[in-house]
C-alpha cells in the first residue's frame, strides 16, 4: 500500500531532474565565455631582386631552390601577381603598408619609410603580437635605427655587405662575421625558438640574390660556370653607348642618385 506512491514519487522526481538538465546546461553555456580563436603566427621571408621564374618549382632549367620549392608545394604560388613599381624600396613599402607607391610616397631607393605611416607589423604589435625584423630593410640609405612596430630589430644601412656586415641590433651597432644569408637566418631561427606566450610576426629580409655585384659563398663561386645565362628581352643594352646615358637611367630609377 505504501510502496506504489513511493515509486511514483521517485519516478516523478527523476523525470523532473532529467528535464532540468537541459535548462541548466543552456543557462550555464549562455554565461560561459566563448573560446578565443587562435591567432596565427606570421613569418614573411623576402629574397631580394629574384625573378618570379628563378625557381626550380617554376621550371627553371638549372637553378635549384629546394627549400622554396617545398614552401610552394605545401602552400600556394600566386601566378597572376604583378609589381607596379619595380624598385626595392617602393616594393618593400607597399608590402608593409598595403599601399601603392603613389599613395605611400616612396618612389625611389633613397626615401625612408615614414615613421607615421601605418604598417601591418605595427598593427599586429598593437593587438598583442611579438614582432621582429631581421635583415635587409633598405628604405633610406643612411638610417639603421629601430623602426616603430618591432620589438626586436636587426638591420643595417642601405644595401649592406655580403660578408662581415655591420648590423644595428636594437640600437647597438656591431660587425658580425660570416656570410649574410647564414647570419640573418641563424638570428631568425634563434628568435623563433625563444619561449613566448604571444603569437609572433617575423619578417626576415635576405640580401641575396641582389647584384651590384653578386658575391656568392666560396662553395658556389663556380657552380654556374658551364651554364649559359640568357638576358631577358627587356634588359637594357648599353653596349657602345655613352656612360652618361646609363647614369641618367639609373638616376631616373633612384639607383645611381636622387
88 is catalytic: yes
C-alpha cell at 130: 611579438
β-sheet with 42-46: strand ranges across: 42-46, 200-205, 130-135, 152-155, 163-169, 172-179
Q: Which is the catalytic residue, given 57, 60, 73, 88?
A: 88
CA trace torsion 179, 181, 182, 187 (10° rounding)? 120
Q: Which is the catalytic residue, given 60, 67, 138, 182?
A: 138
* Helix or strand run (H / E) with residue 123: helix 120-126
248 is catalytic: no
C-alpha cell at 172: 647597438
- Please state, in angstroms and rounded to a whole number, the distance separating the CA atoms of residues 124 and 37: 15
Quick check: 199 and 41 in contact, CB under 8 A?
yes
* List of residues 6+ apart from 246 with CB closer than 8 A: 236, 238
Which sequence positions are flagged as catalytic?
88, 138
Amino acid at each position: 500500500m505504501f510502496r506504489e506512491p513511493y515509486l511514483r514519487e521517485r519516478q516523478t522526481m527523476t523525470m523532473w531532474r532529467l528535464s532540468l538538465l537541459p535548462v541548466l546546461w543552456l543557462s550555464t553555456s549562455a554565461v560561459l565565455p566563448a573560446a578565443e580563436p587562435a591567432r596565427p603566427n606570421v613569418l614573411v621571408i623576402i629574397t631580394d631582386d629574384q625573378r618570379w621564374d628563378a625557381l626550380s618549382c617554376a621550371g627553371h632549367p638549372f637553378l635549384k631552390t629546394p627549400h622554396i620549392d617545398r614552401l610552394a608545394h605545401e602552400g600556394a604560388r600566386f601566378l597572376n601577381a604583378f609589381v607596379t613599381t619595380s624598385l626595392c624600396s617602393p616594393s618593400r613599402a607597399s608590402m608593409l603598408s598595403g599601399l601603392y607607391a603613389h599613395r605611400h610616397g616612396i618612389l625611389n631607393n633613397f626615401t625612408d619609410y615614414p615613421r607615421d605611416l601605418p604598417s601591418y607589423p605595427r598593427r599586429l604589435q598593437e593587438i598583442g603580437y611579438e614582432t621582429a625584423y631581421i635583415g635587409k630593410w633598405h628604405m633610406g640609405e643612411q638610417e639603421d635605427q629601430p623602426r616603430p612596430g618591432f620589438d626586436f630589430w636587426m638591420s643595417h644601412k642601405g644595401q649592406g655587405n655580403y660578408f662581415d656586415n655591420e648590423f644595428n641590433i636594437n640600437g647597438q651597432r656591431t660587425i658580425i662575421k660570416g656570410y649574410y644569408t647564414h647570419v640573418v637566418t641563424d638570428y631568425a631561427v634563434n628568435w623563433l625558438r625563444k619561449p613566448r606566450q604571444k603569437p609572433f610576426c617575423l619578417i626576415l629580409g635576405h640580401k641575396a640574390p641582389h647584384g651590384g655585384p653578386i658575391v656568392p659563398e666560396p662553395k658556389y663561386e663556380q657552380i654556374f660556370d658551364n651554364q649559359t645565362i640568357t638576358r631577358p628581352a627587356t634588359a637594357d643594352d648599353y653596349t657602345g653607348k655613352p656612360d652618361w646615358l646609363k647614369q641618367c637611367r639609373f638616376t631616373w630609377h633612384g639607383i645611381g642618385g636622387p
